[in-house]
Amino acid sequence: MLEVRDIDVYYGGIRALDGVSLDVAEGELVTLIGSNGAGKTTTLRTISGLLHPKRGSIVYDGAPIHTLSPYQIVQRGISHCPEGRHIFANLTVDDNLRLGAVQRRDRAAVRRDREWVYSLFPVLEQRLGQLGGTLSGGEQQMLAIGRALMSSSRLLLLDEPSLGLAPILVETIFAVLREIKASGRTILLVEQNAYLALEIADRGYVLETGRLILHDTAEALRANAEVERSYLGG
């Protein structure tokens, strides 16, 4: 479904990604783990078109997408829920969700997806008229994920959905991720909490200072001594 081939990405003169390649197959939940500054967020931003690789290619559904703008990539069915939530603080919850579906014209399908988002996060339905900025941190994360689900994307890029949340909320979010996966969507998950990520993922990639150093099934990565030492706090 998604093939990232040997991409180099720069911020100004600084190389953030060095020959990164990864694959995500339809229906999979793939996780990208690594410490701060390893290039996880950069990888997601390059896939969603906020950054462009200097070298290499990104192919989605058989067509190259690495030169497209973010809105064209959304059109092709990829949505990106960014790190730090980035909800629209001065817009209502309702308008936040509406913008998630801004490119869609099929009203009936949009309404169905809204009902689905409400069923995943019932609290959002109670907060529709409230401004995004007035929500609690956990609610904002729910809104960010809900908003990303409102675009009829088949591939969901999720960046640090558990960051800064209380343990009980982290559990809620991960339970929802399982449900999203069960709905047939494909997920590429970036997560600092490698332990949790490898619990629900099918496969994982390990990034270190802009390079992929390891990839395997989640099971094998959990058993890997080096991963355990560096990322699982073992």
Partner 1 sequence: MSLTEYGLQQLTNALSIGSLYALMAIGLAMVFGILRLINFAHGDLMMVGSYSALGLIFIGLPYWAAIPAAVVVAALAGILMERVAYRPIRGAPDVAMLLTSFAVTIILENGAVMLVGARSRAFPIPDFLRTVYHLGNLTVASVNVVAIIATAVLLVLLTLFVTRTDIGISMRAAADDMMAAQLMGIPINRVIAAAFAIGSGLAGVAGLLWTVKVGKVDPYMGFFPVLKAFVAAVIGGFGTIPGAVVGGFVLGFLEITFQALLPGEWSAYRDALVFAILIIVLLVRPNGIVGARAREEI
228 forms part of the interface with partner 1 (CB under 8 A): no
Which residue's CB is nearer to partner 1, number 100 or number 204?
100
Sole binder of partner 1 in the list 43, 48, 162, 230 (CB under 8 A):
48
Residue 90 as a binder of partner 1 (CB under 8 A): the answer is yes
Q: Which residues within the stretch 202-221 sit at the binding site for partner 1 (CB under 8 A)? A: none
Sole window of 11-19, 25-33, 74-82, 181-189 interacting with partner 1 (rule: CB under 8 A): 74-82
Question: Looking at 103, 119, 136, 217, which residue binds partner 1 (CB under 8 A)?
Answer: 103
Nearest approach, Cβ of 216 to partner 1 (angstroms)? 30
**Selected binder of partner 1 within 56, 59, 99, 125 (CB under 8 A):** 99
Least Å from the CB of residue 70 to partner 1: 4
User: Which span sits near partner 1 by CB under 8 A: 26-34, 135-143, 145-153, 171-179?
Assistant: 145-153
Least separation in angstroms between residue 133's CB and partner 1 is 7
CA distance 151 to 146: 9
Least distance between partner 1 and beta carbon 79 (Å): 7
User: Contact between 36 and partner 1 (CB under 8 A)?
Assistant: no
Q: Does residue number 161 form part of the binding site for partner 1 (CB under 8 A)?
A: no
Cα separation of 133 and 200, whole Å?
A: 30
| Of 192, 216, 196, the residue nearest 205 (C-alpha) | 216
DSSP code string of the chain: -EEEEEEEEEETTEEEEEEEEEEE-TT-EEEEE--TTSSHHHHHHHHTTSS--SEEEEEETTEE-TTS-HHHHHHTTEEEE-TT----TTSBHHHHHHHHTTT---HHHHHHHHHHHHHH-HHHHHTTTSBGGGS-HHHHHHHHHHHHHTS--SEEEEE-TTTT--HHHHHHHHHHHHHHHHTT-EEEEE-S-HHHHHHH-SEEEEEETTEEEEEEEHHHHHH-HHHHHHHS--
Q: Specify the amino acid at residue 168.
A: I
110 vs 220, beta carbon nearer partner 1: 110
Q: Does 133 bind partner 1 (CB under 8 A)?
A: yes
Q: How many residues bind partner 1 (CB under 8 A)?
A: 29
What is the binding site for partner 1 (CB under 8 A)?
48-50, 69-71, 74-75, 79-82, 84, 86-91, 95, 98-100, 102-103, 133, 147-148, 151
